[in-house]
Homo-oligomer: A and B are copies of this chain.
Amino acid sequence: MKVGVFDSGIGGLTVVKSLLEHQLFSEIIYFGDTARVPYGSKDKNTIIRYAIEAVEFFKNFELDMIIVACNTVSAYALEEMRESASVPVIGVVEAGVLATANALSNKEANVLIIGTKATVNSKAYENSLKKLSFTNLNAKATPLFVQLVEEEIYKGKILEATFEYYFEGLAHPEAVILGCTHFPLLSDALRNYFGEETLLIHSGDAIVEHLEREFSFAEKFKEPILKFFASENPDALRKIANEWLYEK
């Protein structure tokens, strides 16, 4: 099975990492819109326009499926992408919601959703979790985290001060939905801050869980074909892909 993975930039590589670990696909075509990243502070209409352009790009390949690794796009443009595409389009938000519901039997558990401004403003996670009867939801836009990850700041004083700034006074969460593909790189620091018992919902793992439930994967692919595309500087994307996918 061949899959296209779309993200606004490099963050979606954390989803590719999960796909590779589970050996689900024979070929993975990654497209990061690095010339226009970030989407998280942009308008709904702009996000939809860019997302449809990504669907058009993927039509150059004979894909079986498109995975939207970007939470912001999943929150705003999934329906529009589905209308434009002729293959299934799977988003990380839906997958993350189902993973949360599967992991927490107590519907009164405190769930904290963190993401970009656009993702949090969309209320996509909150609305879906409410439909599944969850009652204690907090959503917090944490846009500084994106820049910190881009700067490879995964620990230290700035990060601690930023955690305090965003999280002070919030109810202690039983689960934190990492509603932006950059955030899994802050997992260790978040676990330190919230404690080991707090569950972190990771988009990549949630997507794999969702795919394995909804589709049948008869074969395993140990060495899938990987192709990386970017709207600018594909070399930089490939370099980061090598670091993130094989080293960390």
Query: Which residue numbers of A lie inside 8 Å of B, CB to CB?
Result: 34-37, 41-43, 45-46, 143-144, 146-148, 150-151, 153, 156-158, 160-162, 164-165, 232-233
Q: Determine whether the beta carbon of B46 is less than 8 Å from that of A35.
A: yes
Selected from B41, B43, B150, B158, the residue in CB contact (under 8 A) with A165 is: B158
Supplied contacts A35-B42, A146-B147, A158-B161, 12 more A-B pairs, CB within 8 Å: A35-B43, A36-B36, A37-B41, A42-B232, A46-B232, A143-B147, A143-B151, A144-B151, A156-B161, A158-B162, A160-B161, A161-B161
Q: Determine whether the beta carbon of B158 is less than 8 Å from that of A232.
A: no
Contacts of A147 in B (CB 8 A): 143-144, 146-147
Contacts of A232 in B (CB 8 A): 42-43, 45-46
Q: Determine whether the beta carbon of A41 is less than 8 Å from that of B150.
A: yes
Selected from B43, B162, B233, the residue in CB contact (under 8 A) with A43 is: B233
Q: Determine whether the beta carbon of B164 is less than 8 Å from that of A157.
A: yes
Closest to A37 in B: B41
Q: Determine whether the beta carbon of A148 is less than 8 Å from that of B144.
A: yes
Q: Sorted from nearest, which 10 A-B pairs have the closest CB atoms?
A: A157-B161, A147-B147, A158-B161, A46-B232, A43-B232, A161-B161, A43-B233, A35-B46, A36-B36, A158-B162
